[in-house]
Structure 1
């Protein structure tokens, strides 16, 4: 610049300063200035930006310059929010100016996550990343993201761009986000190689990684390289990853040698032993090491041909001698019963000509031995079949089978018909419920319900449950259980071929033979039943005739004694007592004969005594409940009449029960000639009993009965407690001395029976013995006495 120009500048500066220092005559107020500037902005004559407080205006160019200054001061990276606060300008204007700066390539700026970053900062960042990589040896982009608070993709692009420039290293081919140096890889390779060469047994990969302090990914990458270059000897087993194991070659070699030696010596290999050696897949290892061997794989071990041939030879020897054999002592102790069962089954399957069965998992029993044992049970089968027929269980079980089969067919028919029933079906249904009482259906159903009531008792109800319970029927085979496993086991004890046989084998043998033996027993029982039925038909006529004769005699006796009871019409209490005694004795005997006959005819399960007098009222009720409903209906009134006090009712019910359609027993009509013979026979019977009697009480009882028959010409059936009422009845018909003798004898008998004093009892007994001859003489001499006025002469 020349001196003239410089002088001009000085002059202008002086004028400017003078103008500034001088005060103008007119000034604009602040409000007017704001209005003027606002008008200029509105007319787009002025472009300025207002500050956040509204006190200042700044041009866009000046704002851009200030942003660049702040970026420089922040070393190339600043947040736009911080710019807005420091420059006192709204964030929208800051973002707009920053975007304008980014669009201008000369500025070298970029916006990342709301931050304005200059290229100089990126170069500095690349240098820092390189320093970290060289220090650690390996670097992950995710770590840089956390450290520098920048996006991973941005850092990934930056590192890849500066790789082998400002960042010295290499990128992992399998994981592009990982970078490492060659020196780090060499150090890790040396550590891994040294660790693997020093291992002598299977070691988890996790333990190796902890020792070498390397990542899982890098380990497997280096391991593959070392293995390909044959710098290490060994393999990885198990699942890939941290759960894998490194198995050194020296260990695998030792394993193979141990397995080969053990197999050659013993002929088998146990899986658990191989597992303890570190072999996880035992079967696969055996298949790889013995590809040409015919090995049988059992649940717990593998068996070779040597041991298998020994088993086959033992089985053949047992079959040839028809004797059982237990293979567990032959097999190794490590084998379980499941192993023994499988090896025996395979041996029998291989030699199909060998006829034998496997019992108790490991015991072989030839079929010839089973056949001989079955034949030896034939006598037992006959005995049990006869017992089942004698007890009635077999026939009852078969009857229940038929009833159930009939009901099942009817139920199936109803299901096919859609459940629709006609009026006739409804009436039949009512009959089966026990209300109708008639028809085949009603009888079967009622019988079934009674059986349920009879056999549904617990053991506490009766001690004879074993005798009353019907034989069970197998649902699968439909056979009646005539013979049990317990019976077969008892028979096996005496068999010489089963000496020293364990209990479990005997149990399984008995269970194995039971179905065929049960079938034989059912056939034998059915044959016996058919034979018995044929003989029963022949003897039923004879039995029926004998029943008619016994019932006719008993009913004739009741009619005969009934006349004697009617003599006590003036003494109703005595007459009632004599009637009850008659029903209790002779009436019960008649009912017992009927019950015994119908019980045998209908083959009920309850055991019927051979003597009718042994049938108690409780047993009668039990038998009645098992009879068909129609027969029960006519016999129940007879049973109830026995506890009444009317001979007429009893005789009427007996006649209804014996009528055709019920028991079909014909009773003889009364015959006066036979009645007179009966009276004489009854008197002779009483005299014979009196002559042989030495008991004073019994002698008095017989004498009174004889005197009653002599006085009334009618026999009397009475017990000893009626002696005194009969004497009172006979008093008018007897001489006074005879009556006094009898009365005195009666008093002595009472005294003898009631006293506890031995001396007194002995004295009374002497007097009774002395007077016994007189008593017998009275009974013999008085054949006929005058009839008492108390007696009903119309009855004589």
Structure 2
């Protein structure tokens, strides 16, 4: 009753047999914590002191908040040396002891993971984060925290020294993945060491690739210096350097940027940058360009491989040949240069055709002289055959027109009178005859054997062309043959027909006067005969208009 009325402040034990003041309960809690080594759970306090857990919680809270200056309790640490964390009463000395042990382990091992600490000492995360890790860098714990690890400065410096020693030992580019495999650290810690070395200027190389990417490439400075020396030596000896070699030497950036930093401006301006190579204009390309122009002037075409060094040809690709063609076309002032589809041959089309025609002109003329009589004979025979066919068709048509009489219709005489009028029929007949004659004459023109003559094959012409230039080791590339064959054969055929025509005219002028007179008389006789036959036919047609109706009917029946 007194306790409930608040006249006395006592706490009853769990079994109800003892009473204890709250002040004394706080003292008992403090003593039990110290006796347990500075760390005890509240549930253990409740069982050991035989007091309800609620009273224990209230007592330790009061212990943490209040400071007791009474002389009876001078042997007990002040209340601010205690703290409650994760359901445990902990004394400050316990935390200091953990910091000392942790510092000793760090000095021995160099690094400890947070997970290892929580498992080894069974520490709650709250205690570790709020009361132990806060001592980092204060002198109690000489370490730094990186992610889930604690590391001493000596350990980090040792790793940086090992890391730098590995990098110094490298003389060629190396992937970071290979370097990383030799350090037993996490990837993030690996880049911490790498970035610190770089920031301190102790990195004996540079990185190619994305920052903090394990796929980047490390290039030692010594390799870069040796690569530059090699490139300069290669340029001085060969006067060119392949871009593929520069890539294998891990030269970063574009070649034009690299050489702008490497060479003086005068030497840099002398370089030509092509897709596959970098070459000297004055020491290499100028000689190639001069050789190309000499070939274009002499034989009017140039095989690009013939003007280049063999070593240079082996590294070229299609883009380089396109670049060469553009340069040669731009520097040629005597017309437009064409190129084959594969960009391996460049040529002056008009001059090349003229030169080739001139080379095979004698060969073509000999063939024309040989073929002219046979062609003339064949053409005359064809013309005579067509003329006979024309005459035959005219006679047949004239016969049909002369005897074309309509059968009498049921209407009687009216129909025959209409038919005997004759004017419209004669006009239609002459019109059809004129059209057929014009068509036949057109057919004769279309079947001109000379205009269709093409006696040469491309292989025959090119063989003869190479034979004409055999003394100069002349050889026509296959790609150039394919490119220009049609145009060349067309020009050859035109020249051949001209020679044949000239031969015919020459033969015509060589005929005697008697032969010409005989031919003229034969032609006039034939013309007179045709005129007489035509007049007789017209007279016969006119006489049919006077036949009686019965005779016309009888004649129509006979037909």
Q: What is the SS of the residue equivalent to 1:328?
A: helix
From 326, 337, 340, the counterpart of 1:356: 337
Tell whether 2:76 aligns with 1:201.
no
Which residue number corresponds to residue 73 of structure 1? 35
Counterparts of 1:56-95 in structure 2 under 5 Å?
59-84=21-46, 91-95=53-57
Q: 1:293 maps to what in 2?
A: 268
Aligned equivalent of 1:266: 238
2-side partners of 1:348 and 1:55: how far apart?
A: 117
* CA pair 362-53 structure 1, distance change in 2 beyond 3 A: farther
Q: TM-score, normalised by structure 2?
A: 0.53
Select which of 111, 117, 122 maps to 2:90: 117
Partner SS state of residue 117, structure 1: strand
1:435-446 aligned within 5 A:
none
- Match status 1:341 vs 2:341: no
Cα distance in 2 for partners of 1:52, 1:508 equals 113
Counterpart CA distance in 2 for 1:269 and 1:53 is 98
Larger radius of gyration: 1
- Contact 2:207-2:219 within 8 A present in 1 as well: yes
Contact in 2 for aligned 1:145/1:155 (Cα 8 Å): no
Distance in 2 between residues matched to 1:278 and 1:93, nearest whole Å: 75
Coordinate RMSD, CA, aligned: 4.8
Question: Compared with structure 1, are the counterparts of its residues 153 and 346 closer, same or farther at alpha carbon in structure 2 (3 Å cutoff)?
Answer: farther
Q: How many Å separate the matches in 2 of 1:369 and 1:50?
A: 126
State the alpha-carbon separation in 1 of the partners of residues 305 and 477 from structure 2: 13
Instruction: Please state how far the C-alpha of 1:130 moved relative to its aligned partner.
Output: 1.2
Structure 2 CA distance for partners of 1:91 and 1:189, relative to 1, 3 Å: same
Shift of 1:129: 1.1
CA contact (8 A) 1:269 1:302 kept: yes
Going from structure 1 to structure 2, the CA distance change for 1:61 and 1:355 (only over 3 Å counts) comes to: same
Whether the 8 Å CA contact 1:138–1:181 is kept in 2: the answer is no
Q: TM-score, normalised by structure 1?
A: 0.39
Give the direction of change, closer, same or farther, for the CA distance of 1:116–1:194 in structure 2 (3 Å limit): same
Q: How has the CA–CA distance of structure 1 residues 352 and 75 changed in structure 2, closer, same or farther, with 3 Å as cutoff? A: farther
Asked if structure 2 preserves the Cα contact closer than 8 Å seen for 1:357 and 1:366, the reply is: yes
1:676 maps to which of 545, 551, 556? 551
Identify the residue that residue 136 of structure 2 maps to in structure 1. 159
1:191 is matched with which residue? 162
What is the correspondence of 1:145-156 to structure 2 with a 5 Å cutoff? 148-149=123-124, 150-156=127-133
CA displacement, residues 57-112 of structure 1 (integer Å, 9 cap, x when unaligned)? 76433442343233223311233455456556565544433322221252211123
1:43 and 2:20 correspond:
no
Residues 319 and 366 in structure 1, CA contact (< 8 A), matched pair in contact too: yes
Contact between 1:142 and 1:152, CA under 8 Å: does it hold in 2?
no
Q: Equivalent residue for 1:330?
A: 307
Structure 2 Cα separation of the partners of residues 102 and 202 of structure 1 = 62
Distance 1:677 1:135, change over 3 A: same
Change (3 A) 1:328 1:57: farther
User: How far apart are 1:236 and its partner, in Å?
Assistant: 4.5
Q: 1:84 to 1:371 in 2, by over 3 A?
A: farther
Partner of 1:220: 194
**Distance 1:679-1:237 versus aligned 2 partners, 3 A rule:** same
Residues of 2 paired with 1:672 and 1:313: CA distance? 95
Which consecutive residues of structure 2, in runs of 5 or more, have no partner in the other structure?
Answer: 68-77, 359-453, 467-474, 489-536
Question: Residues 444-487 of structure 1, C-alpha deviation per residue, up to 9 Å, x if partnerless?
Answer: xxxxxxxxxxxxxxxxxxxxxxxxxxxxxxxxxxxxxxxxxxx9
Alpha-carbon distance change, 358 to 55 in structure 1, aligned in 2, over 3 angstroms:
farther
| Helix, strand or coil at the partner of 1:201 | coil
Deviations 1:157-179 (Å, cap 9, x if unpaired)?
12333x1xx44x4658x999854
Q: What does residue 317 of structure 1 align with?
A: 294
Q: Which of 251, 256, 266 pairs up with 2:223? A: 251
Select which of 242, 258, 280 maps to 1:304.
Answer: 280
Deviations along 1:166-210, one digit per CA (max 9) or x if unpaired, are 44x4658x999854144x456445534543443333334444454
SS state at 2:307 partner: coil
Partner of 2:426: none
Secondary structure at the counterpart of residue 61 of structure 1: helix
Aligned residues between the structures: 373
Paired residue for 1:13? none
Provide the rounded CA distance (Å) in 1 between the counterparts of 2:66 and 2:487: 102
SS at match of 1:364: strand
State the 1:498 CA deviation: 8.8
Query: Would the alpha carbon gap of residues 354 and 127 (structure 1) be closer, same or farther in structure 2, given more than 3 Å must change?
Result: farther
Partner Cα separation in structure 2 for residue 54 and residue 296 of structure 1: 104
**2:104 equivalent to 1:131:** yes
- Rounded Cα–Cα distance in structure 1 between residues aligned with 2:486 and 2:51: 104
Structure 2 CA distance for partners of 1:342 and 1:65, relative to 1, 3 Å = same
Change (3 A) 1:348 1:72: same
Once the two structures are TM-superposed, the CA of residue 116 in structure 1 deviates from its matched residue by 2.3
Select the structure with the greater relative contact order (CA < 8 A; seq sep ≥ 6): 2
Is the CA contact 1:357–1:364 (under 8 Å) kept in the aligned structure 2?
yes
Local SS of the residue matching 2:171: coil
